[in-house]
Chain A
Amino acid sequence: MRIQTVLIANRGEIAVRVLRTVRALGLRSVVAHSQADADSLAVRLADDAVLLGAAPAAESYLSIDRILDAAKRTGADAIHPGYGFLAEQEAFARAVEENGLTFIGPSPENIAAMGNKIAARGSLAKAGVEIVAGHPDPVQDIDTLNRIATRVGFPLLLKAAAGGGGKGIRLVRETGDLEAAFRLARSEAENAFGDPTIFAERFLEGARHVEVQVIGDGRGGVRLYPERDCSIQRRHQKLLEESPCPALGPKQRERLLDAARRTVKLSKYRGAGTIEFLYDGGEGVYFLEMNTRLQVEHPLTEMLCGVDLVERQIAIAEGEELPGEDLEAVCVRGRGAALQFRVNAEDPEHDFAPCTGRLSGVHLPSGPGIRVDTAAFSGLEITPHYDSLLAKVIAWGTDRAEAVRRLRQACREISIDGVSTTLPVALALLDDDSFLKGETHCQFLESRLEDRDFLFPPASSELARALALAAAQFYRGARLHKVHETTRSAAAGAGAALSPWAQLGRTDALGGDS
């Protein structure tokens, strides 16, 4: 069956990303959105848009009924869930199919099998895939947890069974912290996934997070793509990802890809998915979890392989088969290397607190090997209702060094004002010896962030002089602004919006005095 109209039940950069492919394929795109996103880029670019409800996700992006209703009203015959929200909710996938629509994603059975992280670990262990040490059952109460901690050992990770994407994870290093961590983990899991069930896993210190992008045809057919390394994380949230993994030897790569191949075949997985592993830097490759959706870092694979993963998703949804049995036949070759940095609206100086505000001065970089996935534009209001991702800056090069140089230039060039961003972290990493050598692991970023000089390097003497002058000019403007504030009338409303620099400029132009 050929799909004609795709309803995109998501927002932000991924909604834009998906609709671009939908339209490039000559299909009709409909964006279902909340009130807060009524004037978003996705809504502006789509062929049609439907208001789901008020800003809170529960009344919009998480409402199965409203989304299905939107699909009916706009004549959509397929739904793309994006990532997050309902993308990995079995009930949603089922409801879509029961309503006669095509779900551009895995089957409800696939989601169920992998969505419950406890069950996934169990079935993969049975299939002979090595998993991270942990406890096979949900943690019922604090007493059970104490017993598990004694057996499995510290450090321990508490994870939401219905979770994923790095959310609902708490690291516990000692017994004294277990109770508070358990309490918070359950609360977070309940709020984020509607299920407070927690399981416990051993925390492998110094390991790398390595994942494999897969496409399955639902009949055992599979395609595997070069692995991605997502070790640069803060509180289990990825910040900078790259492909391929710079530290993986050929033997480990083969084991990784073969474990992925067996997982897809066994589960008769349909659609795009990612299988995540921990690589201990030596011989060990351990299954972590499988995400039954397109991931935030999927552009890396697209740049490396010249593939459009959304197009692949749609083709699979229309019934395309993937022939080929052995590893050689099902592995897709990549070329060169790629890195992606996530620009989030977070303040790196204040514990990465999320920021809200109106964006201004938005300038996006470009050039050879540069791709920017974003829904940001000057004038966009960032609200506290959704995640903090503003833009993804991706750089490809013929080798890692070239990709790094290009990403560095792009991250120096990009500008987004109005909110604090995580960009200082990118520049710090792209200047770090260990990172440049490809020697990183999952705790690397957090340990670097303990040193204030990492994000706030001392300025060179030349730069310091220029900064002192700019700061002096700024200071003068700010002081003038204060003085004039008390003497001018409300007609100075426009003046109040100017920065102290501009304020000073105006005053000078009007013949004012300092």
Chain B
Amino acid sequence: MKLTANFHDGRQLEVSLPRLSLNGTVEAEIDGKPVRVTLLREDRHAITLEVDGRRFTFRNSDGNSGPSDPATLFLHENRPYRVRVESKLDRIQARAHASGPDTGLRLICSQLPGVIRQVFVQPGDAVEAETPLLTVEAMKMENEIRAETAGTIEEVLVQPGDVVAARQELVKIRRERALEED
């Protein structure tokens, strides 16, 4: 299978990796050059590969906060590296989704788990971009959540005292008009 590995600094590597089984060695190809790969260990915590005679152990780590990222986070001795792997088919599908419809309704979600402390808006309120909507307290820090666009508050889904999870929906805003950006 031919894949492209994308790094955050823009670097790309074309990877051709035959099926790997535990303790098996294969001849892979990276950017057309042959690479000898042995799979030494593979479990829910980590993967250990020997690549051209050198050992590497990577731990897969995806934090449970923030929007989901198509690039996977790998830790090498606790240094983080994000790598997004895609096949040709993925690239075709991605282009199809990019031209989807815009509903005009915007969901404001919590970035982190915590407790709702103050709610400043109610349905019907007009808001501008950056208008404070509510505050979430987590780890004893109070964080202000602000509107991302101008619009009208459609629905407020939480109230003070509610415990919220990461990515939980908090407020629905109906945008004034469909915008071409996102």
Q: Please provide the chain B residues from 72 to 129 with a CB less than 8 Å away from any CB of chain A in the complex.
A: 72-83, 85, 111-115, 117-118
Q: Is B47's CB under 8 angstroms from A349's CB?
A: no
Q: Is B7's CB under 8 angstroms from A458's CB?
A: yes
Q: Is A472's CB under 8 angstroms from B58's CB?
A: no
**Is chain A's interface secondary structure helix, strand, loop, or mixed overall?**
helix
Given contacts A384-B138, A423-B78, contact A505 B22 (CB under 8 A): yes
Q: B-facing mask of A299-334, CB < 8 A → 1, else 0? A: 000000000000000000000000000000000000
Q: Is A427's CB under 8 angstroms from B77's CB?
A: yes
Q: How far is B166's CA from A210's CA once the two chains are assembled, in angstroms?
A: 36
Taking the closest CB of chain B, its distance from the CB of A23, in whole angstroms, is 30
A472 partner, pick from B5, B113, B142, beta carbons under 8 A: B5
Q: Is A354's CB under 8 angstroms from B139's CB?
A: yes
Report the interface size for chain A: residues with CB under 8 A from the other chain.
71
Q: Is A350's CB under 8 angstroms from B60's CB?
A: no
Instruction: Please choose the segment from B49-57, B147-155, B172-180 that sits at the chain A interface, where 4 or more of its residues have CB less than 8 A away.
Output: B49-57
Q: How far is B138's CA from A161's CA once the two chains are assembled, in angstroms?
A: 21
A473 partner, pick from B20, B63, B64, beta carbons under 8 A: B20
Taking the closest CB of chain A, its distance from the CB of B84, in whole angstroms, is 8
Q: Does B170 contact A (CB under 8 A)?
A: no
Q: Is B49's CB under 8 angstroms from A499's CB?
A: no
Q: What's the A-B contact tally at a CB cutoff of 8 Å?
A: 209
Q: Does A142 contact B (CB under 8 A)?
A: no
Q: How far is B86's CA from A471's CA once the two chains are assembled, in angstroms?
A: 10
In the bound complex, residues from chain A placing their C-beta under 8 Å from that of B115 are 384
Taking the closest CB of chain B, its distance from the CB of A54, in whole angstroms, is 12
Q: How far is B166's CA from A92's CA once the two chains are assembled, in angstroms?
A: 35
Q: Does A426 contact B (CB under 8 A)?
A: yes
Given contacts A412-B78, A426-B78, contact A474 B114 (CB under 8 A): no
A349 partner, pick from B3, B80, B112, B113, beta carbons under 8 A: B80
Q: Does A1 contact B (CB under 8 A)?
A: no
Q: Is B66's CB under 8 angstroms from A347's CB?
A: yes
Q: How far is B58's CA from A417's CA once the two chains are assembled, in angstroms?
A: 12
Q: Is B11's CB under 8 angstroms from A356's CB?
A: no
**Is chain B's interface secondary structure helix, strand, loop, or mixed overall?**
strand
In the bound complex, residues from chain A placing their C-beta under 8 Å from that of B13 are 464-465, 468
Q: How far is B60's CA from A424's CA once the two chains are assembled, in angstroms?
A: 14
In the bound complex, residues from chain B placing their C-beta under 8 Å from that of A424 are 75, 78-80
Taking the closest CB of chain B, its distance from the CB of A355, in whole angstroms, is 5
Given contacts A424-B79, A467-B83, A472-B17, contact A354 B138 (CB under 8 A): yes
Q: What would be 17 A-B contacts, judged by CB atoms less than 8 Å apart?
A: A180-B132, A184-B144, A191-B142, A349-B73, A353-B138, A384-B138, A419-B64, A459-B76, A462-B54, A463-B76, A464-B11, A469-B15, A469-B30, A469-B49, A471-B83, A472-B85, A508-B19
| Residues in B lying within 8 Å of A, measured CB to CB | 1, 3, 5, 7-9, 11, 13, 15, 17, 19-22, 28, 30, 35, 37, 39, 42-47, 49, 51, 54, 56, 58-61, 63-66, 72-83, 85, 111-115, 117-118, 132, 135, 137-142, 144, 163, 166
| Residues in A lying within 8 Å of B, measured CB to CB | 167, 180, 184, 187-188, 191-192, 235, 347-351, 353-357, 360-361, 384, 386-388, 411-415, 417, 419-421, 423-424, 426-428, 452-453, 455-459, 462-476, 497-502, 504-505, 508-509, 514
